[in-house]
Structure 1
Amino acid sequence: MTCSSRRSRGWSAPAGASSSLPPGWPSPSACGGGGTRPATTPPPTPPTRPRCRWAPSGRCSSRCRRCPTSWRAASTRHPPTTPGGGRWRRPDGATSGRTTLRGARVVVRTLGVAALEADGATLAGLSPKAVELAAAVARAGPGGADRAALAGELFEGSIDGANHLRQLVHRLRRALPDGVTLASSPGHLTWQPAGAVVTEDRLLEALLSRGRREVGAARRTTLAAAIAMADRGPFLPGAEGDLAVRRRAELDARVADARREHARDLLAAGRPAQAAEAARAAVVADPYREDGWQILMRAHAAADGPASALPPYLECAEALAGVGLTPSTETRALLERLRGGGATGV
């Protein structure tokens, strides 16, 4: 019921009754005659889905893998109450972060090695576990990493995990250069100043995310830089804790996707020899994904003629046979089209 309807019906508070209104009711003075409850601020609207020539409806689909502007790369609002601080996040959880080391005081080397560098020099006396801790805190961002969760993940199964964590924190603080500190707030650890510490795996993620948003030559350049960074080696080699194993698997999956996408882009750009090289790296990294073998078959057929599609197909069949599988109907049909002189494009 609005204020104007109460006045039109001659409503008034009973004698002796409290003048306060029920919770949520606006006061008559606030309504100004015929007013209603003040409107709440509408939630932010996600960006409009881009046009896509690959989708029949003309709009990108969440399952689209061919289009460089895939809706999977669009942003969704991250709640401001979480450590993301209200930033726009992609559905896969990655944020658009820095893609260079410029301005970083401390670099956490996590790809192929486990080390900390400050102002270009390696910090001595730090164990791989300390490097893993430094990387985990940096990935947590300005909101910080939960101490209890870190102790449980870094020292799983240990009843003295909290004490081990304190020792690692102490060693890190002693090794850090002036002006950079590992701050401890109630229940959390954060790097200060924010942005002073950068990890290689976060840079890799940022490059992969940027490459998915780009098109054309810029996309190929960015994906090539990300793949070159990934080729330095796996995430924290030798670390076998749950935290490191999960992170390594996550990065390996994203890099494998990027290798296939890069090979596909090179083939579409008319560079079959480079596409074959990129596709070869993709199937070496993930030999059970047939789409990688299909790109390799197309690239060889485009570079060396239709007959050259057969050797990659036989390699695919051999790899799948090792796990009790055979090439799919799609892969077999592709071989027949390529050997018959069919189109080799993506």
Structure 2
Amino acid sequence: MKNLLTDIAGVSVGHADDAALASGVTAILFDRPAVASVDVRGGGPGTREDALLDPVSTVEAIDAITLSGGSAFGLDAGGGVQAWLAERGRGFRIRDAVIPIVTGAICFDLLNGGNKAWGRFSPYRELGYAAAAAAGSDFALGSVGAGLGATTANLKGGLGSASAATAAGVKVAALAVINAVGSVTIGDGPWFWAAPFEVDGEFGGRGMPAAFTADMHKFRIKGGPEATAVENTTLVAVVTDAMLTKAQAKRLAMIAQTGMARAIHPVHAPLDGDVVFAAATGEKPVDPLFGLTELGMVAANTVARAIARGVYHAAALPFLGALPAWKDRFG
């Protein structure tokens, strides 16, 4: 296990980003269509094909998930991933037509200091294509891909991933883009809210503070009283090798949202666009009650770990007034 989303067989991940733009795209590709659904908890989401993921909708499986910066402009990234898949004949077939099913979501990084004067068309479609072309079993964490321009209330955000398995050996992994209105760390210290779920010092091994103070629980959000509902979002993709129905994938996404609450303070605000996609590759059967509940518990813990890892591995943007990275302050 590499502690990455690609620990799930048949899944590949690729990044494409632009340092001057201070934004990018991450593509998650499935070798075979995966059953998927989504759960949206934030008040300001931006999504592609989310209605298709409703359990009552007809199409059962997807070919890719695209996560992007760029706010609504970043939704173009899904078209780039779709083009890459279409060139390879991958997608949902209707007689002679082949339509790659690409869902996705975006986060707001338009005010992070990067050059967003791109002219008539945004660069995200091309970045999406490049991310799909770069997809493989190994990928970087931190300030890369869709996490390049991400920020939190007090530190640079980023992209993280983690993986785990249930007692029966069913694997689940998460990839997170952390651009939250809240904080991933406790107060002004180095401790992560997700510390109780850390595995093998994967985000610094600092544990929890010896005691909690009122200041540690203080309300801290990005932008303070002038924060807006469109500037923040945490995006998560959870993938398992379990055999799930679309309705069960929806339940897995709902339980996995708990991981955000374990890692970000505050979370699911009107100021966020928090989204969790859940996809299943269908290799291992799971009991629909006990087994799915255990899988959801493990998924939630894995989401919390992925969020902390994204901030832990992030690097500050090279612009005046940019937020520091965790390692700049505590590393």
Richer in strand (by share): 2
Greater RCO, CA 8 A, separation 6+:
2
Q: TM-score range by the shorter chain?
A: under 0.3
Richer in helix (by share): 1
Q: TM-score, normalised by structure 1?
A: 0.21
Bigger CA radius of gyration: 1
